[in-house]
């Protein structure tokens, strides 16, 4: 995505980055995006080390309202659950500007989570998200099994994206600015623009199978 110049229309979507447990440190791709690209801003959910579901939902809701223009959410790990719960409680209560969401490495929170602090986000919302979304999962993520992530994508109505063996897709994965994620965000934005041009309030995820030499992006369900 190109840098936004002062002449860029004000209605260009804001990209709100939604971190997970313990926030995103300086070497995390979310922090790099926020520092490098003016179209991206990290949301301060508060209580990073002691997540509280309703607090995170409320802070996310405030950030979306304060954006003052259309919004695309880019969530990592527990931030994905915050987005899903926000959609459950808030999306239909007002004319939401959320156009779509990129959901990266959501963790398993329902049974034997890797960290007990994330159990407060269970049960995982089961309803399809009311906006286009792409769920990116790693084949060796210690926080969720690959097939479990595929099933979650089906439940949420998300386009499933195979990121290969990338760990938890965090700072420890050594991804730098994570160009693969930027490309997936660009695909989501193109999908959003198509939905907007068709006059749809919400649009289902794209159905076409996409492929690259190194990664697969497959519509599930």
**Closest to 53 in 3D by CA, of 1, 106, 3, 124:** 124
- Six token digits for residue 190: 């193109």
Alpha-carbon gap, residue 137 to 183, rounded angstroms: 15
Alpha-carbon gap, residue 209 to 159, rounded angstroms: 9
Spell out the domains of the chain, with CATH numbers in brackets: 14-219 (3.40.50.1820)
Show the beta-strand stretches assigned E in the chain. Answer: 14-18, 40-42, 71-76, 98-104, 133-137, 159-162, 210-211, 216-219
What pLDDT, on a 0 to 100 scale, did the predictor assign at position 6?
A: 40
Show the beta-strand stretches assigned E in 33-118. Answer: 40-42, 71-76, 98-104
What pLDDT, on a 0 to 100 scale, did the predictor assign at position 123?
A: 97
Q: Is the distance from CB of 104 to CB of 175 less than 8 angstroms?
A: no
Q: What is the mean pLDDT of each run of 10 residues along the chain (221 residues)?
A: 41 92 93 94 94 96 94 98 95 78 97 93 96 97 97 98 96 93 95 57 36 36 36
């Amino acid at each position: 995505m190109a840098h936004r110049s002062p002449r860029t229309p004000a209605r260009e979507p804001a990209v709100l980055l939604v971190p997970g447990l313990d926030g995103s440190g300086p070497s995390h791709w979310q922090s790099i995006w926020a520092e490098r690209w003016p179209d991206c801003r990290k949301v301060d959910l508060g209580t990073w080390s002691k997540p509280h579901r309703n607090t995170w939902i409320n802070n996310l809701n405030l950030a979306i309202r304060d954006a003052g223009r259309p919004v695309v959410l880019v969530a990592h790990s527990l931030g994905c659950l915050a987005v899903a719960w926000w959609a459950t409680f808030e999306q239909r209560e007002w004319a939401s500007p959320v156009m779509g969401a990129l959901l990266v490495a959501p963790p398993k929170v329902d049974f034997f989570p890797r960290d007990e602090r994330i159990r407060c986000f269970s049960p995982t919302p089961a309803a399809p998200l009311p906006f286009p979304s792409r769920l990116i999962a790693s084949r060796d993520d210690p926080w969720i099994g690959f097939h479990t992530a595929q099933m979650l994508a089906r439940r949420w109505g998300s386009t499933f994206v195979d990121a290969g063996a990338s760990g938890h897709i965090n700072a420890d994965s050594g991804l730098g600015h994570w160009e693969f994620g930027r490309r997936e965000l660009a695909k989501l934005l193109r999908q959003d623009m198509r939905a907007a041009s068709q006059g749809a309030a919400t649009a289902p995820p794209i159905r076409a199978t996409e492929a690259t030499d190194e990664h697969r992006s497959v519509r599930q369900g």
